[in-house]
Amino acid sequence: MNRTAHQNKTMKGRLLAALFLWAGLTGLAQAQTDSTPPSPAQSLGCLKRPDGTISYPAHHRFDRSHGFMRLRLHFEKADAAPRVEVLANTAREDMQDRVYRYVADYRLPCLKAEDGTVSAVQEFDFSNSSMEALPVPETAQRRLPFCPVMPRKDMDRIMTLSRSVEHVVLAATFTGDGEQAPEVKVLHSTGDRAVEREAIERVKTYRMPCRTGKEEPQVMQQRFTMVPAGHRRYVLKQENFSLVEFLSMTQGARQLKANFDFNTMGCPFKVNYTIYGPALPNELRVGGKRDPNRAPFLKWLGERQIAFGSDKQANELFGQTLQIQVPCGQLDLDPAGS
């Protein structure tokens, strides 16, 4: 595999173009009667907020971490910052820092005593990826609310004698209400006991505040990757690949046999492929309306394993995601007939 680059952990991070998603503010003021229109404060008509947006806090050129925050902002005084309630959080500590600094400058100057507390919800989505966002699957729209809240602080660097990159993949199962800790199971680990223990204890602090305890269990998967200080790590130099480019990077590419008609699959479409194999099944995600005609192709695609140049490269690319562009037309591979 030749589409990789070494990442220098000491590389100076530069702030790339902001990819900050402004999802708007949704007013949640106290209920109004049909005959009483909301006041300017209750409709957020006088909201003052900082100019500009929040830039992505890149650690290095290939930093593609994602982070999401959903906040409920409670305005209680006209000249004071809102009180912040965290509804969901998967963001790194430095991402959170920028969000908290940003919303600390919000004001609602027309707020009056008779308005009471005016609340609003805002979402922040940090992404430094060139991959296109996939449409939300229809099945996800019908699922239970998903609102994990992770700790405010990042996990401290774990002292380990290993000179290689270590991974721990955990499954957290939420069965109770919003205050109950999840049950945690190790799915895969190349880390030592100290790394596993720290990762498990951290995930046990996660909460799902939108749960009441009456819902069915919810499971989320969390991957921890530990990189030794100063280590030069392999990363994907690009994230977007045509189907032909991707298949050329897989094991036994010249011997692949397949026949698929993408014209019957709602083409073109994109597939996000997360490298987990062969330790775990590779993870595939396709957005939008579910198309059963794609199922055989997606199963076949998920079974394709990257042809790594070395065990070191395989270990260090574990968990990274690339996006595959599936075109219209047909894929007809028959090495015996060529």
Tens of pLDDT, residues 104-162: 999 999 999 999 999 999 999 999 988 988 877 655 545 678 999 999 999 887 656 67
Is 50 exceeded by the pLDDT of residue 30?
Answer: no
Above 50 in pLDDT, residue 51? yes
102 has pLDDT over 90: yes
Is the confidence at residue 336, as pLDDT, over 80?
no
Evaluate the omega torsion of the peptide bond into residue 38 and state whether it is cis, within 30 degrees of 0.
no
pLDDT at site 240:
96
Phi and psi torsions of 166, nearest 5° = -120, 145
**Residue 292 neighbours by CB under 8 Å, 6+ apart:** none
pLDDT at residue 69 is higher than 70: yes
- Higher-confidence residue of 4 and 188: namely 188
23, pLDDT greater than 70: no
| Alpha-carbon separation of residue 118 from 184, 250, 261, 308, 333 (angstroms) | 38, 55, 54, 55, 61
Mean residue pLDDT of the chain comes to: 87
Rounded distance, CA 323 to CA 321, Å? 7
Residue 96's SS3 state is helix
Residue scoring higher pLDDT (178 or 37)? 178
**Count of beta carbons in the 10 Å neighbourhood of residue 80:** 12
pTM of the full structure: 0.83
Quick check: 283 and 220 in contact, CB under 8 A?
no
Which tens digits make up the pLDDT trace of 269-322? 999 999 998 899 999 999 777 899 999 999 999 999 999 999 999 999 999 999
Strands 83-89 and 269-274: unpaired
Output the pLDDT for position 61. 84
How far lies 67's CA from each of 37, 63, 153, 167, in Å?
A: 37, 12, 13, 19
Specify the DSSP class assigned to residue 51: S
CA distances from 163 to 1, 233, 269 (A): 23, 11, 40
**CB neighbour class for 334 (10 Å; exposed up to 12, middle 13-18, buried from 19):** exposed
- Provide the pLDDT for residue 163: 81
Is residue 186's pLDDT more than 60? yes
- The reported pLDDT for the residue numbered 164 is 87
- Give the per-residue pLDDT at 36: 77
Q: Tell me what pLDDT residue 140 has.
A: 52
Mean pLDDT of 76-97: 97
Mean pLDDT of 193-207: 94
Q: Report pLDDT for 22.
A: 34
The Cβ of residue 28 has, within 10 Å, a number of other Cβ atoms equal to: 16
φ, ψ dihedrals at 18, nearest 5°? -65, 130
With a CB cutoff of 8 Å and minimum separation 6, the contacts of 106 are: 47, 48, 49, 73, 75, 81, 82
**Which residue has better confidence, 338 or 48?**
48
Least confident interval from 227-231, 238-242, 264-268: 227-231
Identify which has the larger pLDDT, 228 or 153.
Answer: 153
- Residue 43: exposed, middle, or buried by beta-carbon count in 10 A (0-12, 13-18, 19+)? middle
Tell whether the model's pLDDT for residue 12 goes beyond 50: no
User: What is the predicted pLDDT for the residue at 229?
Assistant: 81
Stronger pLDDT, 47 or 228, i.e. the higher one: 47
